[in-house]
Amino acid sequence: MEETYIPNRFGRFLLMALEQALGTPGFQAMLGRGGLRHLAVYPPDNLERGFPVGLIPRLMAALEEMYGVGKGRELAFQAGQTCFHLGVADFGVLADIADLVFPLLPPLTRARIGLETMAEILNRVTDGHVHVQRQDGHLFWVVERCGVCQGRTSSSPCCHLLAGLLYEAVHWATGRDSVTVTEVACAASGGPHCAMEIDLG
């Protein structure tokens, strides 16, 4: 598959989030294990597309190898949550008006606006082809070319980094703790694409 790139800033946020979740010694050990020691030096904070998408599944695989699948995926979820907070400033206008407008809207609408805004940002700077669908009061995040699991094979859905990011976005948009994000299809485990079902609880 042809190598694709995401903005350096996204790669930087991902590495910062992983270092926070694992602690510096764990982070360094994980990079060593994955043959990714060069990533200990973060990419610069700019929007140039210089961070290879293919490094993300390698990081996820290294995480699961080092901590075991269960704990590794838990840490990936946590890192996804942190990525949202690092990136929320890039929500721009939405972040500014959310406090004013969101209380007036029903939670499902707030969640949809939050997810659609994030999808728009990701579609502008990545090749994931994300769309947000609404079906029977549930929201679905569908990503045609998932950068989290590309090239991996897994017996169960493995895009917990993405699930954590979406959980935190919807939690932020709705203020609800009862949000759940379930990966209902995963390209790495035989799905046609990756899809997350978001339920507000």
* Contact set with Zn ion (CB under 5 A): 146, 148-149, 159, 194
Q: How many CA atoms lie within 13 A of 109 on its CB side?
A: 7
Instruction: Scan for tokens 């929007």, then name that residue.
Output: 47
Extract the tokens encoding 49: 């597309």
The smaller minimum CB distance to Zn ion, of residues 159 and 200, is found at 159
CB of 182 to Zn ion, least distance (A): 13
What are the C-alpha distances in Å from 44 to residues 74, 124, 192?
27, 19, 34
CB of 23 to Zn ion, least distance (A): 26
Q: Nearest to Zn ion by Cβ — which residue?
A: 146
The smaller minimum CB distance to Zn ion, of residues 21 and 146, is found at 146
Asked whether the beta carbons of 14 and 75 are under 8 A apart, the reply is no
Query: How far is Cα 54 from Cα 6, in angstroms, rounded to an integer?
Result: 10
The smaller minimum CB distance to Zn ion, of residues 132 and 149, is found at 149
CB of 103 to Zn ion, least distance (A): 34
For helices 55-67 and 8-33, angle between their N-to-C axes, nearest 10 degrees: 40
CB of 157 to Zn ion, least distance (A): 7
The smaller minimum CB distance to Zn ion, of residues 94 and 187, is found at 187
